[in-house]
Each structure stands twice: as C-alpha cells, then as structure tokens.
Amino acid sequence: MTQIKQLTEKDFDAIFELSAFAFQFELDEAERKRREEEAARHEIYGYMVDEQLAGKVHIIPLSINIGGHSFNMGGISAVATWPEYRRRGIAKDLLQHSLRKMKENGQVISLLHPFLVGFYRKYGWELAYVHKKYTIPIEKLKRDWQTNGYVRRSATQSELNNLYQTFAQKYNGMLERDEKWWQQRVLADSAVQIAVVYAASGEPEGYIIYKVKENVLTVKDYAYTTQNGLRLIYEFIGNHDSMAKEVQLTVPENDVLPLHLADPMFSQSLEPYFMARIVDVHAFLKQYPFIGENESVMIDVTDDSMSENSGCYQLKVIQDVATVTKVKQGAKGDVQCSVQQLAQIFLSFKRAPELFENGLISGEKSAIQCLDRMIPNRQTYLGDFF
C-alpha cells in the first residue's frame, strides 16, 4: 500500500536517516539538533510504501521580495528517495502534492535549488537566479576607495537585519529573513567574523560576514545601503592582505566591481543557482506591482502540471493601477508563454523581448513590448540557500 502523508516529529528518525544518506552528511548529535530545530518550521511530506518512508519533500514557508512587495513563497528542499524506490515516479508525485499544498497555503511562488535543472523544469520550475562568483587576488583590492567612514566589529542581529532589508529592496527574489533564519542559517557558524561599516556621521551603511582560512578570505554574506558603504566593505577586505592572498565573493549578476579596479583580470564565473515557479498564476498576477500609465495585454499561459493555471489573463495598467482578469475559456491572448517563462519574465530574470527573439515565447511584437513596459526592471539575486 502506498500513500503520501504529512510527517511529524515522530518521523524525525526516518526523515534524517534518508537525508543523511541522500545528501552525504554525518548526522552527529549537534547536527541532529540543528536539523531538528530547522525542521520544526518545515511542512514535510513522505511517500510511504507499506508504512515505510520511501521518499520525502520539505516545504519551507518563507517570503520573498518582488518589486518592493512581499510574496508568500514555498521553498522546496531536501527532496529525496531511497535508491530501491527510484524511477517509480515518487519524486513527481511528491512535487505535485507539494504544489497543491502550497496553493492551499497561499504560497503563490516557489523556489528550489535543483540537483538537475531538466528534472524540475518538467514540473514548472525554471532558472531565475544566477550567481556571479569572483576569485580575486587581494592585492587587486588595494587602492584608494575614497571612503568616508569607519568599521566596527560589534553588531546586533536587528542592526544586521535592517541593513539587509534595505539592500534586499534593490533586487527581486531575496528572502525576508526572520529571527530564526538569522540564527539558524546566517549566523549559525560561530567561526565567522562580522563587521559593520559606518558613515562618518555614525550611520550604518553595510555589513560583511566572512571567514579567513588557509590564505583565503571567503565572504559568506554582505549588504550595503550606499555606494560609500560598498567601498568601505571593499577597503576593509583589502586590509586583510597580511593574512589572505585571495578573496572569494559571490555577487549579483549585474555587479560591476571589475570596472572599479585597475586590473580586472581575475576569475569571474556565472553559475546557475535557484529555480522559481509560479504556483497560483491568478493570485500571483493580482499581487504583482505592475508599472505603466496606459497599458493592456492579453497573455496565454500554459501549465502542464497545474491545469487550473492554464488560460488567458488580461492585464491592464492605468496610471500605475493594475487589474488582472482571467478571461473565459476560448479567448486568445496577444502573448503566449509557458508557466516557466512566466516566472522568468515577472521576476525580471529575462525580459519578454529577449525570450521572444529566442523563440521561447510567442505573440505579436507590439504586445511583447507592451508586456515588457509593464514589468519593473530589477535584477534577481538570492544570497541564501536552502
């Protein structure tokens, strides 16, 4: 007999045993305690075969920022199946079940870190985040950054969060971190160093959380609210030249640090990171912060995994006030796209004209341009992992 059921603390032994095997980590007492604390906020579903756990999925209730607005998000994590039960469609059934549950929960969008992009793409997720990674000889950061301020190592969690929230407003798709997230994820490693940068006036303008080990300074997390704050962070990193030879740093895709350096010849790579999926298209569009003065477009959406999302949606914006209507069956849209490309467009990871030119969406060119004018242009970025 098979069934999908919600798991509880009573199932933690089976849950963590599968996770430890699937993701190859040691489950000592400290790690077990940490994972129990995190799992307390998760909604966990198990695929049971003869009352034994064959596979599982975790839904993490979170929120992300899109265009300065908060969206309820379901983070998909720790999808795993024991080898003897693989290739039976268990992961597919768990993902489909998760989509229904997220919709019931009002989580209109979902994010996940894929083990295989093509697998999750089949169920409606699509790439929406790219990380730019730098490996920089620290000497290249030794320059006059023309800063105005100072650095201190004392910081409260509240101060860090205020700086982070201001920084997050610049990007689409960043997490809204609560107190537990800071404690369990961002500040869990007691070995990290934390520094806050201040303007000369005493106003905090950024922070950096980092480690130095074996001549490498690794930035774990950072945020800034002004360009002076960013320059103070780079100046501070450069002052570690007596203990580090290189810096490893992950930044948003549109970062322009190389333009500020006399010698920008260092390792720079772009790596696909997280995928996104719109869970409830109508609800998502009704919350979306459209822009424009007098725009109107009809968009056909196809969703093979959640048929209720498929259909034609009329989007109107008059003086920045938007209305979204799902049109009766049979109506034809000006733009046609899949739910995968819909997420890329509305997170502004890819613009509609670019997808159109590459044959990934179709429609009338004027309608494509109209849709593009309605979408705020804001870089996606995610500094967290789950």
Residue 180 domain flag: yes
Confidence band of 188 (pLDDT split at 50, 70, 90): very high
Determine the Cα–Cα distance for residues 263 and 286; give it in Å rounded to an integer. 47
* pTM: predicted TM-score of the whole model, two decimal places: 0.95
Kindly give the residue spans of alpha helices, DSSP state H, lying in the chain: 12-23, 29-39, 90-104, 117-121, 157-168, 179-181, 227-238, 281-287, 339-346, 352-357, 365-374
Determine the Cα–Cα distance for residues 370 and 23; give it in Å rounded to an integer. 45
User: In DSSP terms, which residues pair with 127 in a beta bridge?
Assistant: 275
Are 157 and 252 members of one domain?
yes
Are 322 and 337 members of one domain?
yes
Residue 116 domain flag: no
- Domain housing 143: 131-272
pLDDT at 296 over 90: yes
* DSSP assigned state of 239: T
In the sheet that holds 216-224, the strands lie side by side as 149-152, 193-199, 204-213, 216-224, 246-251, 130-137, 267-272
Query: Closest Cα partner for 260 from 134, 347, 83?
Result: 134
Specify the CATH number for the domain of residue 34.
3.40.630.30
Residue 208 domain flag: yes
User: Looking at residue 44, what is its pLDDT?
Assistant: 98
Determine the Cα–Cα distance for residues 202 and 56; give it in Å rounded to an integer. 49
Residue 381 domain flag: no
Q: Which residues contact 226 (CB under 8 A, 6 or more apart)?
A: 199, 205, 206
Determine the Cα–Cα distance for residues 195 and 163; give it in Å rounded to an integer. 12
For 108-159, what is each residue's pLDDT tens digit? 999 999 999 999 999 999 999 999 999 999 999 999 999 999 999 988 999 9
Are 163 and 217 members of one domain?
yes
Number of domains in the chain: 3
Residue 217 domain flag: yes
In whole angstroms, what separates CA 379 from the centre of its chain? 12
Are 268 and 137 members of one domain?
yes
Are 163 and 245 members of one domain?
yes
Specify the CATH number for the domain of residue 349.
3.30.1050.10
